Amino acid sequence: MTATDDTRRRAAESTPVVTVTDLEHGYDGLCVLDGVSLSVPTDAVTALVGPNGSGKSTLLRLVTGVQAPQSGTITLPDADAPRTVGYLPQSLRPRDGFTVRQTVETYAALVDGGPGTDDVLSTVGLDEVTDERVDALSGGMRRLLGVAIALVGDPPVLVLDEPTSGLDPAMTARVFDVLSDLAAAGRGVLVASHDLDAVGTNADRVVLLDQGTVQAQGPAATVLADLDVRSLSDAFETTVADDAGVTVRHGV
Ligand SMILES: Nc1ncnc2c1ncn2[C@@H]1O[C@H](COP(=O)(O)OP(=O)(O)OP(=O)(O)O)[C@@H](O)[C@H]1O
């Protein structure tokens, strides 16, 4: 095990900053989450993976408080920060006519306290483009802007829904590098992703979701060892049922 692996393993086993217990949620009789329990440690990137429709976005929305769970509990830290959870939804569309700085300032105005706009933009590596209009940014830069918006108010928990979808490998690595730095600075980072290679390379902890339940979770190396597989793609194939992502209709 390398020093980096060891550091990651210890981080991934550190104090939970979010604890989810027996979460159940669905829509109009469709059971999407059926007794989901997981923890998100501080100082680590936790990746939530699972097939389309397996409930990742639903779970993230419940953790952020955007939706209330039908049953189960979500424990978040008692934060001194102005916001407890920063959230990057899958479909954030910043206003095209605004500059990068104006966009972050707009969100910062809604939060009482936290780091200044320049600090936030520097943290995600957008300090060179603060005066660019949002519509002039590349897809990857837009995602980093989304991460900056999630960081407003300096929340101890960051929840990001597919922040690298559609990005090339270099930009994907850059986004994950930023997430790793944010985790190393003492946050719990929970990120949903379909990019299993990037997750395998960058995440400290993995949660595999399918059929409304957690199929496997833990430090990435432990999940692979427990399942006796060599890659997350293999883990995905081993744990995800043939009818992947199919949710269960109550009473059927
Ligand atoms: N607001 C809603 N109303 C009704 N059904 C919903 C709603 N949101 C999600 N669903 C359904 O819940 C299931 C899980 O959706 P969810 O978006 O949470 O999964 P996901 O794992 O994030 O999917 P993807 O990887 O495709 O983004 C799907 O069957 C979806 O159609």
Predicted confidence at residue 91, as pLDDT, reads: 84
Best of 23, 24, 25, 27 for a ligand 1 pocket test (most atoms within 8 Å of beta carbon):
27
pLDDT confidence tier of residue 1, bands split at 50, 70 and 90: very low
Does the pLDDT value for residue 13 go beyond 80?
Answer: no
Highest averaged pLDDT of the listed ranges 181-190, 220-229, 242-251: 181-190
Q: In what order do the strands lie in the sheet containing 213-219?
A: 85-88, 157-161, 188-192, 44-49, 205-210, 213-219
Exposure on the CB side of residue 230, measured as CA atoms within 13 A: 0
Predicted confidence at residue 29, as pLDDT, reads: 86
CA angle 59, 170, 12 (to 5 degrees): 45
Q: What is the pLDDT of residues 31-82, one digit of tens each?
A: 999 999 999 999 999 999 999 999 999 999 999 999 999 999 999 987 677 7
Residue nearest to atom 18 of ligand 1 (CA): 55
pLDDT confidence tier of residue 85, bands split at 50, 70 and 90: very high
Predicted confidence at residue 241, as pLDDT, reads: 60
What's the average model confidence in pLDDT over 162-183? 95
Predicted confidence at residue 252, as pLDDT, reads: 29
What's the average model confidence in pLDDT over 70-96? 87
Q: Is 157 helix (H, G, I), strand (E, B) or coil?
A: strand
Tell me, what DSSP letter sits at residue 127? G
Q: What is the pLDDT of residues 176-221, one digit of tens each?
A: 999 999 999 999 999 999 999 999 999 999 999 998 899 999 998 8
| Ramachandran assignment for 50, one of left (phi > 0), alpha (psi -120 to 50 degrees), beta (any other) | left
Residue nearest to atom 28 of ligand 1 (CA): 53
Å from CA of 14 to ligand 1 middle: 30
| Pocket lining for ligand 1, CB < 6 angstroms | 27, 32, 50, 52-58, 247
Does the pLDDT value for residue 245 go beyond 70?
Answer: no
Predicted confidence at residue 244, as pLDDT, reads: 53
Amino acid at 104: V
Q: What is the pLDDT of residues 104-141, one digit of tens each?
A: 999 999 888 778 899 999 999 999 999 999 999 999 99
The stretches of 14-156 forming alpha helices (DSSP H) are 56-64, 100-108, 117-123, 139-151
pTM of the model: 0.91
Predicted confidence at residue 12, as pLDDT, reads: 53
Structural domains of the chain sorted by starting position, each given as residue range(s) with its CATH number in brackets: 3-77+156-249 (3.40.50.300), 96-153 (no CATH)
Amino acid at 89: P
Predicted confidence at residue 250, as pLDDT, reads: 46
Å from CA of 128 to ligand 1 middle: 37
Interface predicted TM-score of the whole assembly (ipTM), two decimals: 0.98
CA angle 205, 211, 212 (to 5 degrees): 70
Strand 30-41 to strand 205-210: parallel, antiparallel, or no bridges (unpaired)?
unpaired
| Ramachandran assignment for 46, one of left (phi > 0), alpha (psi -120 to 50 degrees), beta (any other) | beta
Å from CA of 85 to ligand 1 middle: 21
Q: Is 4 helix (H, G, I), strand (E, B) or coil?
A: helix
Nearest Cα residue to 173 out of 188, 185, 163: 163
Å from CA of 57 to ligand 1 middle: 7
Average pLDDT, the chain: 88
Strand 71-75 to strand 16-27: parallel, antiparallel, or no bridges (unpaired)?
antiparallel
